[in-house]
Structure 1
Amino acid sequence: MIRVVFFDLGSTLIYFDASWLEVMPRAAAELTDALLRSGLNLPREDFTLRFLHRIQEYYQQRESEFIEYTTQRILQDLLAELGFFAPALLLRRALERFYGVTQSHWRAEEDAHPTLNLLLQQGRRLGLISNASDALDVHTLVDKAGLRGYFEQILISAEVGVRKPHPRIFQLALDYFGINPAEAVMVGDTLGADILGANQIGMRSIWITRRADTPDNRDHLDTIQPSATVATLAEIPPLLERWSSPSPESSA
């Protein structure tokens, strides 16, 4: 019996409606401008490019080590290397400008609210496990999409220090609900994070594919197998009902 359903956030419950390659430079420029307005004498274009490069380096690093550092730490370290000190409040305000640009492009999937409501009506409990380097950004996105009320727990890698598929973040989620892995399922769009992590700890996994056509997923198609594959969130409640059925045919 599946008692708890864990969801990924980005590209699962919400989607990005623009090109990251176009949005990230604008977001980084907003961050640099905020730092300049605070009195830091930074070379605008050079610092913007340096920040983008550092973020990209970190994104690649974390996919192999599964260790999560915060964006604020990355920004602070970069400024320190250039001889600048900025208090935490100033860094936070600059990051709010950065994430304000990206947040404006996230949208809730049309079937997110109906699906989550139906799962609650089925008597299931819900949790969110998100890989992200800024916890406040995740909380803002959750609130912007009106999703907070569905979830008993919101677990963010920036607060835990490790990313999916690291087993620790999944174990923390299970411990919160006081359940064993067989009583939970993970829903997500990323084979190498959501599905692999769930599989390794003994949970069932549901891969949602409508926004999953990425190079990383294509690399894992033959090596990471979900318990089930769906194209939309709306398919999940009836799937879980079939899993709960004692009939061998309906649980296949």
Structure 2
Amino acid sequence: MTIRAVMFDFSGTLFRLEQNDSWLTNLTDLDGDPLDIEAQAELMRRMTAPTGQVVQLSEEYQHAWENRDLDPALHEKIYLEVLRKSGIPKVEQAKALYSRLVDPDEWTPYPDTETVLKDAAGKGLKVGVLSNIAFDIRPAFTVRGLDQYVDSFVLSFEEHVIKPDPAIFQTLLDRLGVPGEEALMVGDSEEADGGARALGCAFALVDPLPTSERPEGLLAALRAHGVL
């Protein structure tokens, strides 16, 4: 079946949250000592992991974790707790770091993001972005002029459903006007993004490496499926 639409995940697929050194310079642990490089890297991993529980949680916070991408208030609540349990005990420091996470301007596009979106749209393909997320990512595209290549954004906190539930994939397919058998889903999570297969979509997995280490991951994924 010919691919007529490409659906992209956001975090770890089209964009990645990569800290500026200034974010972490003033962060300290319980003893007031600066976080070492390993602790900084683990902190960023926990803030952006698409699936899986990153710390042990009480029942109250477990609910918030499982529903974090459906409700902005729960999202903030659980990530402040994750940061606390990850060695950031000062609330003001945790809130400052959290504000970076939910600021679309702080996210970095992969080197081939613009090329892939532009080329896909230029070939007449429908392009959609589908994300488990609790904040509006559209400004990250608009500020770089990338929104012109995207036909529809489907965000979990707006639709009240999260991947891998087939319903959220179907929502985007309906808006793009393409059946699942004629769509390709591209994402960094087999568990979440691979859920598109339930609707007959093809699926391409990309590695959520740092942007400097994955210059053509998106291009390779689309070329492997004969899309570009």
With the length of structure 2 as denominator, give the TM-score of the two structures: 0.63
Hey, which of these two has a bigger chunk of helix by percent? Answer: 1
Of the three residues 57, 60, 79, the one matched with 2:65 is: 60
Query: Percentage identity across aligned positions?
Result: 25
Contact residue 119 and residue 237 of structure 1 kept, 8 A: no
Counterpart-to-counterpart distance in 2, 1:74 and 1:18? 19
Equivalence for 2:152: 153
1:240 aligns with 2:225: yes
* CA displacement at 1:74 relative to structure 2: 6.3
For residues 26-57 of structure 1, the C-alpha deviation after alignment (integer angstroms, 9 at most, x for no partner) is 7xxxxxxxxxxxxxxxxxxxxxxxxxx89964
Counterpart-to-counterpart distance in 2, 1:174 and 1:108? 24
Residue type of the alignment partner of 2:119 = L
Residue type of the alignment partner of 2:163 = K
- State the SS of the aligned residue for 1:185: strand
* CA displacement at 1:166 relative to structure 2: 0.6
Equivalence for 2:191: 192
1:181 aligns with 2:180: yes
Q: Identify the range of structure 1 (141-150 vs 117-126) with the bigger mean alpha-carbon deviation.
A: 141-150
Equivalence for 2:165: 166
For residues 107-155 of structure 1, the C-alpha deviation after alignment (integer angstroms, 9 at most, x for no partner) is 1111111111121222211011011122x3x223333443211111000
Structure showing greater relative contact order (alpha-carbon pairs closer than 8 Å, 6 or more residues apart):
2
* CA displacement at 1:75 relative to structure 2: 6.3
Coordinate RMSD, CA, aligned:
3.3
Aligned length: 170
CA shift in 2, pair 1:59/1:151, >3 Å: farther
Mind listing any 5+ residue stretches in structure 2 that lack a counterpart?
28-56, 78-94, 211-215
Counterpart-to-counterpart distance in 2, 1:147 and 1:210? 20
CA shift in 2, pair 1:75/1:181, >3 Å: closer
Counterpart-to-counterpart distance in 1, 2:6 and 2:61? 31
Equivalence for 2:3: 2
Counterpart-to-counterpart distance in 1, 2:183 and 2:218? 17
Counterpart-to-counterpart distance in 1, 2:11 and 2:145? 14
Match runs of 1:1-252 below 5 Å: 1-18=2-19, 57-58=62-63, 60-62=65-67, 68-72=69-73, 100-102=99-101, 103=103, 105-134=106-135, 136=136, 138-195=137-194, 197-211=195-209, 232-241=217-226
